Structure 1
Amino acid sequence: MQSASTDIATRAIGIINQLKDEEGPLLPILHDLQGEFGYVPQEALPLIAQALNISRAEVHGVVTFYHDYRDHPAGRHVLKLCRAEACQSMGGDAMAQKARELLGIDWHGTTSDGAVTLEPVYCLGLCACAPAAMLDGEVIGRLDAEKLEEIATEVRL
C-alpha cells in the first residue's frame, strides 16, 4: 500500500508532467495542484523546481506571494472578507472582528471542526455594495451583522 506522501508525489508528478512544457507553466501547475489537493503540498515544491529547472526558493516565493494558494487544506467552506479601503470605510473592520469572534478563529484559520476557513481578500470589486464578502465563490454585498450571523450559522451546519 502506498503511503500518503508517495500518493501525493505520484499525483503531483502527473500534473507537473502534463503542464511543464506549456509556456509559463508554474502558475498553471500550482493552480492544478491546488485543484487536485485543495492546497499546494509542500512535497510538490521540489518536484516542480526540478521539472522546471528553477530553484525551490522561486517556487516557494510564488506560492507565498499569491494569497489564493494554500499550504494546508481549507475548511469545507471558505469565507473571504474584503479588507480594501471602500469596505473598511463602510464598516468592514467591524464585520471582520465580528466574523473572527463568531467563528473563533483569526485570518487564515480554520475552525476546529474543519467547517470554515476565514481569509482576508483585498477587493472583490463590490465597492458600491460595501462591505463585501465571498462565501465559497459567491459574492455577498452590503454585509451586515445579521447576514454575518446567518453565514456563520450556515457554514457550521
Structure 2
Amino acid sequence: MQQAVNAALTAHAGRPGALLPILHDVQHALRHIPPAAVSAIADALNLSRAEVHGVITFYRHFRLSAPGRRLVQVCRAEACQAVGADQLLEHAQRSLGCSLHQTSSDGAVTLEPVYCLGQCAVGPAVMMDDALYGRVDAARFDALIALQEAQQ
C-alpha cells in the first residue's frame, strides 16, 4: 500500500490541485483507498485527514474498502433509463444476489451505479472492470458475467 501511495505522491509532487489525481492513482493501483493511505496523503499535501476523507466520500467513484474481484457498473443516466436500465439493474441485483454498493456473498462481484458512461446511443450501458458494453439486456448481462467467471 505504501508503495502505491508514494508513487502517486511522487508523480504529482508540487502540482496545484494534486489531491484528485493522487486519489485516482492510489485507487487505480489498489482498487480502493485504504484508510491508512488517507493520513499519508493528508500529511504530504498539508491537509487534514478530514479534508481528504471528505473528498473521498464526496465523489462516488472513490472507495474506502476493497471491491469484489470484479466491478460491475450499470449506467443510471436518463438515456439508459429510457431504454431499460432500471429493469437491467433489477435483474443484475437478483442475478448477483446483492444490491447497489454491495458485493456478492462470494466476494466475486461488486455492483455499483454510474451516472453516464457516454454510451447514450447504445444503452443500457454496463462497464465490467475496464470493459464497456452497450445494448445490455438481462440475457446479455448473464452471458457477460458467465464469460468473466470463465476468464478467472
Smaller-chain TM-score range?
A: 0.7 to 0.9
Secondary structure at the counterpart of residue 94 of structure 1:
helix
Identical counterparts, % of pairs:
45
**Cα distance in structure 2, aligned partners of 1:20 and 1:41:** 20
Task: Give the length in aligned residue pairs.
Answer: 150
Alignment of 1:16-95 (within 5 A): 16-95=9-88
Query: Given that residues 123 and 135 in structure 2 are in contact (C-alpha distance below 8 angstroms), is that contact kept between their aligned partners in structure 1?
Result: yes
Please tell me whether residue 119 in structure 1 is matched to residue 112 in structure 2. Answer: yes
Which runs of no fewer than 5 residues in structure 1 stay unpaired?
Answer: 1-7
CA distance 1:17–1:125, change in 2 (3 Å): closer
Please tell me whether residue 102 in structure 1 is matched to residue 126 in structure 2. Answer: no
CA distance 1:128–1:10, change in 2 (3 Å): closer
Which is higher, the Rg of structure 1 or of structure 2?
1
**Cα distance in structure 1, aligned partners of 2:10 and 2:145:** 40
Query: Given that residues 103 and 111 in structure 2 are in contact (C-alpha distance below 8 angstroms), is that contact kept between their aligned partners in structure 1?
Result: yes
**Please, what TM-score do these two structures have when normalized by structure 2?**
0.87
Which runs of no fewer than 5 residues in structure 2 stay unpaired?
Answer: none
Query: Given that residues 75 and 117 in structure 1 are in contact (C-alpha distance below 8 angstroms), is that contact kept between their aligned partners in structure 2?
Result: yes
**Please, what TM-score do these two structures have when normalized by structure 1?**
0.85
Cross-structure match for 2:141:
148
